[in-house]
Structure 1
Amino acid sequence: MKRVIGLMLFCLLGFNFGFAQNAQELIDNLKKELKNNPDAKRTAVIYSDLTWYYSKIATDSALNYGEKAIRESVKLSDSTLMAQVYSDIGAVYFMKGDFQNSKANYLKAYKIRKLRNDSRGLAKINNNLANIYEKTQHYKEAMSSFLEALHYFESIKDEKNTSITKGNIGLILLKLKNYPKALQYISAVVKYQEKNNFTEELCVSCLNLGNVYLQMNDTLHALNYYNKSVKACTTVGNQKGISSGFNNIATIKTAQKKSKDALALYEKSKEAREALNSNLDKTNFDLNLAKEYIADKKYDKAKSLLLSTKKVYEKEELNDKLQINYNSLIVVCSNLNQPDSVSFYVNKWAIVNEQLLVDNTVKQTAELETKYQTEKKEKLLQKSKAEIATRELEIKNKNTQFLILGLISLALLIIIYLVYRQQKLKNKQQEQEFELKSAISKIETQNKLQEQRLQISRDLHDNIGSQLTFIISSVDNIKYAFEIQNSKLDNKISSISNFAKSTIIELRDTIWAMNSSEISLEDLQTRIHNFIDKAKEAKEEIQFSFHIEDNLKEIKFPSIEGMNIYRTIQEAINNSIKYAEAKSIKIDIKSNNDVLIITIKDDGKGFDVDKIELGNGINNMKKRIYDINGDIEFITNATTGTEIVIKVKG
């Protein structure tokens, strides 16, 4: 019920639309002016304007013109223009979601404006920096920057910017759960906007104020401001605000057990959501709705929404959203008693989590490289300036005696050689430092991955494992505490107990794989022998044999690959026991030219590959092997039985 939705950026939507309509015309006019070869000052200003106008249309073009504007403003030594361009480039990176580069450019602009005592410019940059800190969850830094900006706007009695800044501070206080302070700030913003009839801004602010009241369990005031938000959003056509407002009201009605009213409101929220232009906005809304269903224990509805959102996030490769999606599916499938799905999504979650760590490492490495290249360019620029100054000096002193020119030239050559030698030594030192940082980063990443694997395995063992153990104990107590005369009921209870026990075994296998960074063939052999021993207890008449070449036992696989191979062999043996009516099952592992060949053969009745409808077992075997870039072949007939050949790179 207490789902808080922050929407302060919605007040920019109308501006962006109007801006996009006129930007192309302005860009075309500026490009025409460039063709007339204006002077250096005007050229730099045009590049700066193109950076800003392109920012809402094509960010790559905006950054291209931003670099040109910086070069021209440096040549002119125009600090005012340089500060403006750095600020515009910071805004472009913010729109791209690259908060690191956005922050770096805003700080460059801040440094220049600080030297120029540009208080208004500093206040605007503080607002922008605070938005970056808020996005990266550095709330203390965000609050500090917002308060510094607020102090300036209040000092010059700028009511509009004061109101916007107070609203942003109120949202941070809401996230920090300081509800009385959040109420104080956002209430002041709403009063100012109501006084000045700022309908578009009220659409957002009333929704935020409703969220504050909801967190304070004041549903009466929450409903009042949600209704005000819906009314304002409807007036300005803000579909996302309308959808959020109806959804939050419906949440309150659900908590009040007014299901009929809640369903009607959810339907209105859905209609507004479907009117959104952004498919990603709809998907994000569905993900939040799925979380609501999980909280209300409506697991079937939650699963349906999560599966649909998963497709969008996988297509868009949004790993941060997939991490939340897979984690929610683990919870849902666990409550729906679907252990195979739990195991599947645990693996999916682990892979995405690992990819996020790798992406973060790559991003940090790229940032170090960018920093290194920037420093290198600045040094080359300084060197170029020195060479230009030297040439100008030579032109001014062209009538100087030949001997003096010769001495000056010799001195310059010596200086250049010494600078070159010093630069070469410095570059070598920087390369060594970079290699050391990369090595340290790689080690830290590996340690973090191992810690996360151990944490996941502990959580699986302590939570799901203990729950399954409780289920087995409870079922066995029922079976032995009561004299059950109904054989079907007795068989059903035994089936539940056996299913839970097999699930614990599979869970332990998964934990074993997650706790191991690598799995050797010898580990697999031991694991498969244990499985065969259990199979013999159920089918004593079947003869098992297992052979592996001694020189292959030390071959190691990553934990996910090793687990896929083990599960595939396990499934093959299970199929032979259940369906083939086999008298003997042989497992053989050998190698041929760095290719590991695993053969599972039985002497059962076989099956027709072309006629039989393949079940999840065979499809899962294929998928597991294809996922590790291997190959699997099924050779079967009624006379010789079934032979499954798996080939993976050893």
Structure 2
Amino acid sequence: MKRNRIFFLTLFLVTFFVHAQDANVLIGKLKTELKANPDAKKTALIYSDLTWYYSVVSIDSALHYGGKALLESKKMGDSTLLAQVYSDVGAVYFRKGDFQNSQENYLAAYKIRKARNDSKGLAKINNNLANIYEKKQQYKQAMASFLEALHYFESINDEKNSYTTKGNIGLIFLKLKNFHKALNYISDVVRYQERNNFKEELCGSCLNLGNVYLQINDTINALKYYDKSLKACTSVGNKKGISSGYNNIATIKTEQRKSKDALTLYEKSRQVREQLNSDLDKANFDFNLAKECIVANQLNEAKKILLSTKKVFEKIKSNSKLQVNYKALITVSAKLNQPDSVGFYVDELSLLNEELLGNAAVKQAAELETKFQTEKKEKLLLEKEAETKQKNFLLIGISTLLFLIVIIAFLIHRQQKLKNQQQEQEFQLKTDIGQIEKQNELQEQRLNISRDLHDNIGAQLTFIISSVDNIKYAFDLKNAKLDSKLQSISSFAKSTIVELRDTIWAMNNNEIHFEDLRVRILDFIEKAKMAKENVDFRFTIDNSLSEEKLTSISGMNIYRTIQEAVNNAIKYAEASQILIDVKSVDDKISIHIRDNGIGFDEAVTEKGNGLYNMEKRIKDIEGIFNLVSESGKGTAILLLLNKEK
């Protein structure tokens, strides 16, 4: 199936849709309550609820009441309600297709929730902002926001929001054409929602799963899940989902050359779509209908629709949409034998291509096309009898010229690309050789330093321990303070040797397997258990990480950070349980260290060198360090690290 005939429709929204019929009932009740002149807080809450329920009935009405809710919330100074209203208005703008206003409202809500340390609220806003990044094709930012939200939801065992976020991640993979991962993520979400009979969520999830199957040319499963989406959307009154479902099925019917069925479905989609207020959605659906009208030879109707969609695409400055719109207008005008219109839209398309590509050849072609149109109009006035012959001759000439220009431009571009690739490969080879030589020198230096440390410093420390022990045994020390001091010196020297061995271990390795790091951590925990028998230590790690490689610096920094976190929990937190959980999450390594100790108030407690050093160690290896603590509820530290390429 031709990929350019497939349309990706709605994002998997974090917010839910309400049955339209129920929404109208609730709207009526809220307006009745409003007429009773309630107090200021009740009025603000009613406006906020009207914003939400109107979002599935009338976008314009939702924005009207959203403005009132914002005004009342600001008057009251209620930051909690104000943050919620900003989020609701952001969701309304998102459904309207106004992503700029949607982003501004979500960011306003984010600022308030950040000041209130509302972690759950921030995670949900991150999810919604990621949806906007996805719409703007900023996929890296979108994926980062989704993964951050997912980590939070999974950390608090919020199953529903975790699956919602997984659905969004699946959509990013769909946009990136990684259909295998998209299928895995979204299928998992659909199974979860079917188990729990979440009709509102199934409306969007089944639609997205149908889109994945359509991309891999599995039209049977695509139709199956589009049908499921229609049933779910109909049961909850999701008009946008219903319209999208009809439209996608119609697209398949068009590919199957079932024009009559396709037109019927497009008409159903249009009827539902008319009840929405999203200009972008209407334009996208209308454009599909216009293409079907061209296939059915309903040319005047097709041109009427295309002129309407052109205005919308121009307004929102969607150049990619305008390109296909102009091409369709050229085709329709040619079939209607309207040469002036053909020339006009050829000019428009050429100018647009020039703007997008900055290609001198395209610019010259546009100038030639304009010149041709001028000469043609003059000849049409002077030589009407030779109109058809001249037009055909010039059209063939300009087409040939355009074809030659495109071929020449392609060959030049290809030659330059090959040359650039060759230069890049040569540069990369030189760089790699330099890095290898540098690494060899560094490894030799490390080996020399580690030998010096072992032979000199290690031997000296061993001598100190031996000397202290000899003093204790050789003399009958009666002074308890002196005996304690000697014992302290011996213990310090022994612990220094252990630290020295860890450092030498790291220095002697270019790379450290995660299995080596796991053994070191287990050894450290065993020693901690011996020192603190009343503390329950639990350490879990994914088996999939056993062969994961780390640089020696990364391995040592991770080990020291975990060591410092456990020591803090033992020394200061009075914890009876310490949990260390290491797992793989896509291209990240997540390390979660939690204790049930006394915790501390982050707002009033000044961070000491230990916490500062842990955070700096993780930032030095380009990781993310996050600490959450609350008095009486323990401390949780999350390390998020990049896997080595």
Q: Give the TM-score normalised by the residue count of structure 2.
A: 0.47
Q: TM-score, normalised by structure 1?
A: 0.47
Higher relative contact order (CA 8 A, sep 6+): 2
